[in-house]
Amino acid sequence: MSLSGKRIYMLRHGQAMHNVDKFWPERDPPLTELGIQQSEAVALPIIPDLVVCSPMKRTIQTMYKVISKLKLNEDPKIEIWPDLREATNAPYNDGSSKADISSAYPLLDFTRCNEEWDYEENTEENVASRAAEVLKELKSRPETNILVVGHRVFFWYIVGGKRFVNCGEYVFNSH
């Protein structure tokens, strides 16, 4: 995979409530206290010029904790991509409506998101297709250092079976 000097750093969100309670009944669970600590402990090997994030509370909370520690000359460009949503069907993998999530995070742009969380049910085929499209778009971007904050199972489809622990990461390099 030639990325012409590009580095794509994939980071799974910190521990969230559904990681503790496998039967978590509510949609869009937030990070636990441990998840916040995990996120604060991440030491990025890059300074991102683009941050791409799933539109869920746990990924957004992780993203903010991670980038808040960086010594930046300017804020990185942040994009919310609903195609980064998790790849399994469970109530806790359903996100908030666009109105609710944008009122919770008014500085972020949720224009790519549906008004309601009414995305198609995950199947092996459509998740694999979605993962291929996400990777294609990431590779086509002009930015050199990209931070992608997302979910374990969806990342599994992108990187070919690597399992991500909470705040686990994977880097695509051109070298």
Could you tell me the two tokens for 55?
A: 């539109």
Q: Cβ(155)–Cβ(24) under 8 Å?
A: no
Which sequence spans correspond to the domains of the chain?
7-172
What is the pTM (predicted TM-score) of this model? 0.94
Per-residue pLDDT band at 3 (split at 50, 70, 90): low
- CATH number corresponding to 7-172: 3.40.50.1240
Please tell me the predicted confidence (pLDDT) of residue 173.
64
Could you write out the DSSP letters of every residue in 134-170? HHHHHHH-S-SEEEEEE-HHHHHHHHTSPPPPTT-EE
Please tell me the predicted confidence (pLDDT) of residue 165.
86
Per-residue pLDDT of 40-62, as tens digits, reads: 999 998 899 999 999 999 999 99
| Residue found under tokens 């806790």 | 92
Per-residue pLDDT of 4-19, as tens digits, reads: 588 999 999 999 999 9
